[in-house]
Amino acid sequence: MITDFSDRLRSHALAVETRLAALVDGELGASPARRLVEAMRYGLLGPGKRLRPFLVIESSALFGIPLEAALDTAAALECVHAYSLVHDDLPAMDDDDIRRGRPTVHKAYNEATAILAGDGLLTFAFEILARIENRVDARIKLELILELARASGAMGMAGGQMLDLEAEGSPLSAAEIARLQFLKTGRLITFACEAGAILSQATPLQRAALLGYGTAIGSAFQISDDLLDAEGDPAEMGKATAKDAPAGKATLVALLGTEGARTALARRVSEAEDFLTIFGPRAAILNETAHYMTRRQA
């Protein structure tokens, strides 16, 4: 199953990257702002596992939706994720010079271009959803747009980033850290899992199961990220590590220590598996995705 999962992750990543390149080159090819489009392309198509798009595709596959029909939703979500990374790396935020083994967008271009590139990627995501093909019903498009907007804004990722900045140097409880991390990281991952239910018009019970699964693996992903920052190899990570503790970041590693964080990670993976039981063997790849959180190297 691990080999199958790894092969599937790579295959989906290639499909998503091919589609993203086609969308950028096709839809934005006529823009007179060539430097902006180049910076957007640079931030969007750098190396990456494309985990969030992978979850869109696999949550859709639970209901028999083929990859091609889920691809634009997956691409739109990756645009939002890429925008968040471009902005997170800015000096006013996390101040990172390296992302995925190469200069961040503001280093490769400049800060103003990076800000505009992030803005461009965020708005492009919603253009992609609005123009989705494959005969997707207009009501489904609207629901995808609404839920991605909620996951991205003040009640989601942007709000979580604000809480993260405010929490630097301030002790938080485990519940407060969980809320912060759910908003900052978990909301986009939860949307990725819910997207399959939206595209397929799944039952309320099925949608609730995918929401619960997404919440659990979103938390698992963030805990694994925090562990990698504490213990990971910068060469493998493709970015600087050991930054959270000196910055006073609110993490479960800081609160519970590495062993306590690993215990919490295992608990989240088990919770994710429990949410998938209603889908039976069809959820094998999503189950393996949850376990992948415990063995991430980057």
CATH number for position 274? 1.10.600.10
Q: Please tell me the total number of residues recorded for the chain in this structure.
A: 298
- Amino acid 79 reads C
253 falls within a domain: yes
pLDDT of residue 2: 45
Structure tokens at 262: 């690993």
Residues of the chain where predicted confidence (pLDDT) is lower than 50: 1-2
pLDDT digits (tens, 9 = 90+) for 13-27: 999 999 999 999 998
Q: What is the pTM of this model?
A: 0.93
Structural domain boundaries enclosing 62: 2-292
pLDDT score recorded for residue 238: 59
Tokens in use for 293? 């959180």
Q: Are 292 and 220 in contact (CB under 8 A)?
A: no
How many domains does one find in the chain?
Answer: 1
Domain-embedded: residue 297: no
Does residue 132 lie within any of the structural domains?
yes
- Looking up tokens 């005969």 gives 135
The answer to whether residue 243 sits within a structural domain is yes
Residue 50 inside a domain? The answer is yes
Residue 169 covered by a domain = yes
Closest by alpha carbon to 82, among 36, 126, 107, 50?
A: 50
> Does 261 map to a domain?
yes
Give bridge partners of residue 103 from the DSSP assignment. 98
Tokens of 145: 């747009």
Give dist(CA 82, CA 95) in Å, integer: 16
- On whether the CB atoms of residues 237 and 298 are closer than 8 A, the answer is yes
- Examine residue 298 and state whether it is found in any structural domain, yes or no: no
Asked whether the beta carbons of 63 and 196 are under 8 A apart, the reply is: yes
End-to-end CA distance of the chain: 20
pLDDT at 244: 66
